[in-house]
Amino acid sequence: MRIALAQFNTSVGDIRGNTEKIKKLSAEAYDLGADIVVFPEMSVCGYPPEDLLLKKHFLENNRLAVEHIAKNCPDIVVVAGFAELNENGCFNSLAVLQNGEISKIYRKSILPNYGVFDERRYFRPGTETVRIMIKGMAVAFTICEDVWRLKWLDSFFSEIPRIDVIINISASPFHVGKIKQRQEILSQCAKHFQCAVAYCNLIGGQDELVFDGRSMFVDSSGKVVCQAHAFAEDMLLADLTSVENKKPRLKAVAAASKPDKSLPDDHISEVYNALVLGVRDYVRKSNFSKVIIGLSGGIDSSLTAAIAVSALGAKNVVGVTMPSQFNSPDTIKDAQVLADNLDIEFYALPIKVVLEQFNKLLTEMADWDKNTVAYENLQARIRGSILMSLSNRYGYLVLTTSNKSETAVGYATLYGDTAGGFAVLKDVLKTMIYQLAEYVNELHHREVIPVSVIKRPPTAELRKNQKDTDSLPEYDILDKILCGYVEQDKSASELIRDGLPEDRVNQIIGMVDRNEYKRRQSPPGIKITPKAFGKDRRMPITNLYTSENF
Amino acid sequence: MRIALAQFNTSVGDIRGNTEKIKKLSAEAYDLGADIVVFPEMSVCGYPPEDLLLKKHFLENNRLAVEHIAKNCPDIVVVAGFAELNENGCFNSLAVLQNGEISKIYRKSILPNYGVFDERRYFRPGTETVRIMIKGMAVAFTICEDVWRLKWLDSFFSEIPRIDVIINISASPFHVGKIKQRQEILSQCAKHFQCAVAYCNLIGGQDELVFDGRSMFVDSSGKVVCQAHAFAEDMLLADLTSVENKKPRLKAVAAASKPDKSLPDDHISEVYNALVLGVRDYVRKSNFSKVIIGLSGGIDSSLTAAIAVSALGAKNVVGVTMPSQFNSPDTIKDAQVLADNLDIEFYALPIKVVLEQFNKLLTEMADWDKNTVAYENLQARIRGSILMSLSNRYGYLVLTTSNKSETAVGYATLYGDTAGGFAVLKDVLKTMIYQLAEYVNELHHREVIPVSVIKRPPTAELRKNQKDTDSLPEYDILDKILCGYVEQDKSASELIRDGLPEDRVNQIIGMVDRNEYKRRQSPPGIKITPKAFGKDRRMPITNLYTSENF
C-alpha cells in the first residue's frame, strides 16, 4: 500500500480554494501510484477557523465541499479534515472518501483547550475508533492531540484487533524545538502499538500562528523513515508492505521524497524560516502585495526589512526613514546603506518641522514640557502617522519592528512604533534578534545588515544621547527575567532564587504587568516560542496582582 | 436561619483587598444577625482572573487568603468563591468556612467555555455535591452555570435527601435583558426542587465585562422575594424559617433590604448604569483619576463625556476640541456648549497648521493627494496624537468615542479616533446612542446634550460636506444588518430573507469582515449586548470566507 502525505498551505475560510487544491493534489498522488492520500487537520476549511465555526452556513458549506471532493476523487482513498456539524453537535472530524462518497468519519477525541487552542469552545469530543482495510493493511485514524496522550490512546485502541498503520492528521503550530517533541511522541506511539505512523501536518501562516509541516513516516521500530519539507508544501510517499511473520515494512519512495528535506537542526535558521513564511502568508492572504517599514538604522527594523525581502522580494518592500534632530548621522546613513544592500525602494521624510508645529500647538497647554516622555512619544506617533498615511494612500501594509523584550516591558509608543498591520518580531527576544541578524549576513554571504548596526548599543533616539540601558537592564539579564516570568509563569521569588538580581526582577515584572494595555492594542505577530503574547497569554488588563506572598 | 448575600466589588488579583472586604462584610452580616454570609464566585481573587490562574504562586496566595478569612471570621458561616489548586488539578471552588477553618469545599461542575468564558482552559469539573445543616435547615451549594442546567442538576442532586435552600454564587456578566433570564432560571430551579434559592452575584467592572449584582432570594413557589441593587454594592438579608408540615418560609429582612432596589425595567437606564460603572471601575482600578475626551460636537463624544461625568464627577473629566478647516462653526460651538453644560475643563487646539505641515511633508511623495481618504485619516491621527500627548504629559486616561455600528464596519481611523485606553460605547449601536442621549437629558431634567447635536445628521467632518450616509446606509438599516450578522451569526441569504436590502447586506458584511484587523487593535470597551466585539467574538483576521453557497 502506497501512502501519500500531502501537506499544503490552506487558507482559513477559503473552502473553495482549499477544495480545489485537495482535488489537484489527490490527482497528483494518484499519478504517483498512491492508494491513499492524506491531508492535514481541517484542511477543507483551514485552521483555526475560530468563531467562523459558530456560523451554521459555514459548517454547511464545509460539508458540501467534502461531498464534492468525494465525488471528484473516486480513484483514490482521500483522507481530509473538516468541521462537522451533525445531530449531536460540532466535531473536529476526518472524512475517509472512497468510491465517490464519504465512507467513514473519525471524530477527534482529545480537544486541546490551552495555549492558543480553544477547541472546547467549538467541538464535542468523539468517542469511537475508525479502522479501514486497504490492500490487506489495517489503517487506524487519529487527529493531532489524540496521539499526544499515549496512555489514553492505548485504552481507546484496546478493542481494535490489529493496526498496521496509524494515520494522524494535524495542525500543529510551530515553536522553537517543537519538532523534536513531535518526533519523540510519534516514535513512542509507533513503538507502543508496534505499527507504522503516517503523520500529515499543515503548513502556512495564519494570523499569529505558523504551521511548519514536516510531515513524516515512522516505522514500527520508532525510526523516522522520511520527513517532508519544513515551511513549504510537499508530498511525501512511502510504501507499506507485508512481510510474512513480521511487522509490515515501511519504505520511503525515493522519487518523491528528495534527500535531506528537513532544515538543519538549527534554531536560528528554523526561526528565520518561520518568520519569512509568517510574513508572506499574512501579507498575501490579506490581499496585500507590498509592505512598508520605518527604517531607523537600528537592528530591529533592519532585520524586519531583511525578512520582508526574503518573504516578498525586494520590489515589494518599501523603506522610509523619518529622522528628527535626535537621530545621529550614523543611524540615518545606516538606514540608507541597509536599503541599498537589500535593493529596496527608500524614502527619507524628516519629521523636524512637523514636530515643531505639534510642539507649538501643545505649548498652549499649561505645563507642556519638551523634556518629557510625552515629547519623546510624539516623535514616534508622527512617524506612525506618516507610515499609515502612506499605507492608506498607496495600499502598503505597514510592518512593525518591536521585538518581544520591548513588547514585554512596554518599551514602545502606542500608536507610534506599534502602528501597523503585522509585528514580525513580536515573539523574538532581543538576544535572538542579534543571532538572526548575523544569520541574515551568513545567508547572503555578505554584509546585508551593516556591522555598525549590529555593534551599536541599542537606542530609541527620542532624546539626546538616549540608550536603552538608561531605563532597562542589559538585554541578557532582561531576556532571562522575561523568559522566566512570561514563558514559565515564575514568581519574583523564584526568579531571585534562580540568581537574577532582585531590583531588576521587581522592576521588570512591574513593567510587564502595567503594559498589558499596550500589548492588547498591538498588531498580531508570529509565535515562535512556547508562550507568545496574544491569544497564547490571556492576561487581564485590570490586574492588581503582585506576586509577593499573601 | 438568617442568610446574608454580600454582593461586592472585587478587583482581579487584589487578593489582599478582597480578603479585607470579605472580613469587614462578614462582621457587618454578623452584626445584622446573619447565621451565614455568602460572597460571589471567585470573590477572593476576582473574576475572571484569566491566565493569572496559570501562576502557581497566585493559586497558593489565594488559598492562604481563604484560610486567613476562616481564622478571622469564626462566629459566622462564610461562603466564598476562590480558585483552588489541589492534587487533582485546578477548580472553580466555593469554601464553606466554619469555626475558624475550611469545613467543606464545593467544586463547580458545569464550566462555561463559550462567549466570554474560557473556564475549560483553567478548571476541571467538580463531581460531588456538598450539603450542610444550619439550624436544622439543609443547605446545598452550586456555582453560577450549575443552576442554568436544570436537567443535569436534577440528576446531580438526586442523592440528596432534602434541600431547604440552594445557595448559588455567581459572576454573571451583564447584557441587556439578562436579568429576566436569570430570574426565570432561578424561579424554575426553586419550583423544581421545592426549595428556596439564595443567589449572590458579583458587581463591578473588569475590562470588557460589567457584573450587575442584583442578588436575590427566591422562595419555593418561584417568587422573587427580594432583590439587591443593580450596579452597586449591597447586602441582602432574608430569614428561612421552618413551618410544620410545610416548606420552610422565606421572608425578606426589611431593615437591610430597602424597598424598590432594582432599577426600573427599562433597557436604556440599565445600559446607562452599566456604562457608568464600567467606566468608573476601569479608570479607578487602573489607578487613573482623570479622563480626557476629544469632543467633536457630535453625539458619540457628547454622550461619552456625559457618562464619564456620571462615573467620575465633572472635575475628573477634560474635554478637548481639535477642529480642522472641515469642522462647521456649529459643531465647534456645540462642543463648547456641551462642556459648559457638564461643567468640565475644556480646551480648543485647532489642528489646521499641523495638518498643513504634515501635508507639505507628504507632498514629497509622488502622487500624494489631499483629496483622498489618506488625508482624511491624517486629521484623525493628528487628533489621536494630541490626546495621547496630553495623556502622557498629564496622566489622563483617553476615552474613545466610537460606537458599535462604526466599530463593526471600520468607520473609524486606526490610531486616530480609536486611540485611547477605553472605548465606552464600543458595544452600543448608533440607534441606541440616540436613546441614551435623550435619556441623559431626561436624567438631568435639562438639555445637557444640545438638541442640535442630537438632531444633526451624523458626519465625521473629515472633508467638505461629508455625511455618514455618503458611504453607509441609514443607521436603522445598518443596525438591523449588524444585529443579524454580528450578534446572531446569520448569513447574507438569511438577512435578505428577513427583508433587508441585498446590496446593503453584501456591502456591510464585506465591511465587517475586512475590518477585523482594526477591531483587534482597538481598546477594550463595555459589553452590553449578548455578543460584543472582543473576547466574545473571536474571528480570524486572515479570513477568506464569504457566506455565498459552496
Closest CB to A550 among B15, B372, B522? B15
Nearest CA in chain B to A373: B392
Contacts of residue A386 in chain B, CB cutoff 8 Å?
358, 361-362
**A388's grid cell:** 499609515
Contacts of residue B12 in chain A, CB cutoff 8 Å?
540, 542-545
User: CA of B338 to nearest chain A CA: how many angstroms apart?
Assistant: 21
Q: Are B209 and B245 in contact (CB under 8 A)?
A: no
Average pLDDT over residues B281-292: 97
Q: Would you say residue B333 has pLDDT above 80? A: yes
B144 labelled catalytic = yes
Residue with cell 509608543: A413
User: CA of A374 to nearest chain B CA: how many angstroms apart?
Assistant: 5
Nearest CA in chain B to A346: B365
Q: Would you say residue B403 has pLDDT above 70? A: yes
- The span from the CA of A508 to the CA of A506, in Å, is 6
**B123's grid cell:** 478548571
Interface check for A358 against chain B (CB to CB < 8 A): the answer is: yes
Q: Which residues contact B494 (CB under 8 A, 6 or more apart)?
A: A57, B484
User: CA of B314 to nearest chain A CA: how many angstroms apart?
Assistant: 19
Instruction: Report chain B's mean pLDDT, rounded to a whole number.
Output: 95
- The span from the CA of A338 to the CA of A295, in Å, is 9
Alpha helices in A364-403 (DSSP H): 373-394
Nearest CA in chain A to B322: A361
Marked catalytic residue, from B144, B189, B226, B483? B144
Q: Would you say residue B548 has pLDDT above 90? A: no
Residue A132 pairs in a beta bridge with A139
Let me know if A112 is exposed, middle or buried by CB neighbors in 10 A (0-12, 13-18, 19+). middle
- The span from the CA of B34 to the CA of B216, in Å, is 16
Interface check for A196 against chain B (CB to CB < 8 A): the answer is: no
- The span from the CA of B190 to the CA of B277, in Å, is 31
Q: Cβ separation of B362 and A540 shorter than 8 Å?
A: no
Closest CB to B537 among A11, A46, A51? A51
Closest CB to A121 among B54, B114, B282? B114
**A467's grid cell:** 540608550
DSSP string, A142-171: EEGGGGG-HHHHHHHTTT-S--SEEEEEE-
Q: Residue B14: name the closest of B52, B71, B41, B40 by CA.
A: B52
Nearest CA in chain B to A549: B61
Question: CATH number of the domain at A268-468, please?
Answer: 3.40.50.620
Alpha helices in B363-418 (DSSP H): 373-394, 404-409
Question: Which run of H or E residues covers position B483?
Answer: none
Q: Are A524 and B523 in contact (CB under 8 A)?
A: no
Q: Residue A351: name the closest of A401, A385, A305, A316 by CA.
A: A385
Contacts of residue A519 in chain B, CB cutoff 8 Å?
none
Q: Cβ separation of B285 and A491 shorter than 8 Å?
A: no
Marked catalytic residue, from A45, A73, A108, A430? A108
User: In chain A, which stretches have pLDDT less than 70?
Assistant: 254-265
User: CA of B514 to nearest chain A CA: how many angstroms apart?
Assistant: 9
Fold of A2-265: Nitrilase/N-carbamoyl-D-aminoacid amidohydrolase (3.60.110)
Contacts of residue A365 in chain B, CB cutoff 8 Å?
347, 349, 390, 393
Contacts of residue A421 in chain B, CB cutoff 8 Å?
517
User: CA of B509 to nearest chain A CA: how many angstroms apart?
Assistant: 13
Q: Are B187 and B180 in contact (CB under 8 A)?
A: no
Residue with cell 446634550: B449
Nearest CA in chain A to B285: A542
Q: Cβ separation of B365 and A64 shorter than 8 Å?
A: no
Nearest CA in chain A to B484: A55
- The span from the CA of B203 to the CA of B430, in Å, is 27
**B199's grid cell:** 443567589
Q: Looking at residue B247, what is its pLDDT? A: 87
- The span from the CA of A511 to the CA of B440, in Å, is 39
Average pLDDT over residues B431-450: 97
Residue with cell 483552588: B84
Q: Looking at residue A263, what is its pLDDT? A: 52
Q: Cβ separation of A389 and B382 shorter than 8 Å?
A: no
- The span from the CA of B147 to the CA of A358, in Å, is 58
Q: Cβ separation of A206 and B11 shorter than 8 Å?
A: no
Q: Are A406 and A533 in contact (CB under 8 A)?
A: no
Question: Cis bond leading into A48, ω under 30°?
Answer: yes
Q: Looking at residue A255, what is its pLDDT? A: 56
Q: Of chain B residues 5-24, which have a CB less than 8 A from chain A?
A: 11-17, 19
Residue B249 pairs in a beta bridge with B241
Q: Cβ separation of B520 and A517 shorter than 8 Å?
A: no
Q: Which residues of A362-385 are buried (b: 16+ CB within 10 A; e: fewer)?
A: beebeebeeeeebbbbbbbbbbbb
Q: Cβ separation of B545 and A12 shorter than 8 Å?
A: yes
Q: Residue B134: name the closest of B251, B241, B227 by CA.
A: B241
Closest CB to B540 among A49, A349, A522? A49
Nearest CA in chain A to B207: A542
Query: How open is the CA angle A203-A204-A210, to the nearest 5 degrees?
Result: 95
Contacts of residue B389 in chain A, CB cutoff 8 Å?
358, 362, 374-375, 377-378, 381
Q: Of chain A residues 305-344, which have a CB less than 8 A from chain B?
A: none
Average pLDDT over residues B15-34: 97
Residue from A62, A378, A389 to probe the interface with B (highest B Cβ count within 10 Å): A389
Q: Quick one: CA torsion of A181, A185, A186, A191, rounded to 10 degrees? A: 140
**B245's grid cell:** 408540615
Give residue-wise pLDDT tens across range B56-67. 999 999 999 999
Nearest CA in chain A to B350: A361
User: CA of A360 to nearest chain B CA: how many angstroms apart?
Assistant: 9
> Beta A397-400 vs A291-294: how paired, if at all?
parallel
The one-character DSSP state at A486 is I
> Beta A2-7 vs A36-38: how paired, if at all?
parallel
Marked catalytic residue, from A45, A73, A84, A144? A144
Contacts of residue A388 in chain B, CB cutoff 8 Å?
377, 381, 414-415
Interface check for B345 against chain A (CB to CB < 8 A): the answer is: no
Residue from A542, A546, A548, A549 to probe the interface with B (highest B Cβ count within 10 Å): A542
The predicted complex's ipTM stands at 0.95
Contacts of residue B398 in chain A, CB cutoff 8 Å?
none
Q: Looking at residue B256, what is its pLDDT? A: 52
Interface check for B542 against chain A (CB to CB < 8 A): the answer is: yes
Closest CB to A357 among B357, B393, B517? B357
Give residue-wise pLDDT tens across range B200-240. 999 999 999 999 999 999 999 999 999 999 999 999 999 99
User: CA of B213 to nearest chain A CA: how many angstroms apart?
Assistant: 19
- The span from the CA of B391 to the CA of B2, in Å, is 50
Q: Looking at residue B227, what is its pLDDT? A: 95
Q: Does the domain made of B2-258 have the CATH classification 3.60.110.10?
A: yes
Q: Looking at residue B265, what is its pLDDT? A: 63
Q: Looking at residue A188, what is its pLDDT? A: 98
- The span from the CA of A401 to the CA of A294, in Å, is 8
Marked catalytic residue, from A41, A84, A145, A376? A41
Interface check for B446 against chain A (CB to CB < 8 A): the answer is: no
User: CA of B133 to nearest chain A CA: how many angstroms apart?
Assistant: 32
Question: What does each C-alpha distance from A32 to A24, A208, A255, B322, B495 come to in angstroms?
Answer: 13, 35, 9, 67, 47
Q: Looking at residue A72, what is its pLDDT? A: 97
Q: Looking at residue B348, what is its pLDDT? A: 97
Q: What is the pTM of this model?
A: 0.96
A356 labelled catalytic = no
Chains A & B: contacts with CB separation below 8 Å:
279
Q: Would you say residue B255 has pLDDT above 90? A: no
- The span from the CA of A211 to the CA of A230, in Å, is 9
Greater pLDDT, A547 or B157: B157
Q: Cβ separation of B58 and A369 shorter than 8 Å?
A: no
Nearest CA in chain A to B57: A491
B352 labelled catalytic = no
**CATH architecture, domain defined by B268-520:** 3-Layer(aba) Sandwich (3.40)
| Domains in chain A: boundaries | 2-265, 268-468
Q: Residue A173: name the closest of A542, A532, A527, A547 by CA.
A: A527
Q: Would you say residue B259 has pLDDT above 50? A: no
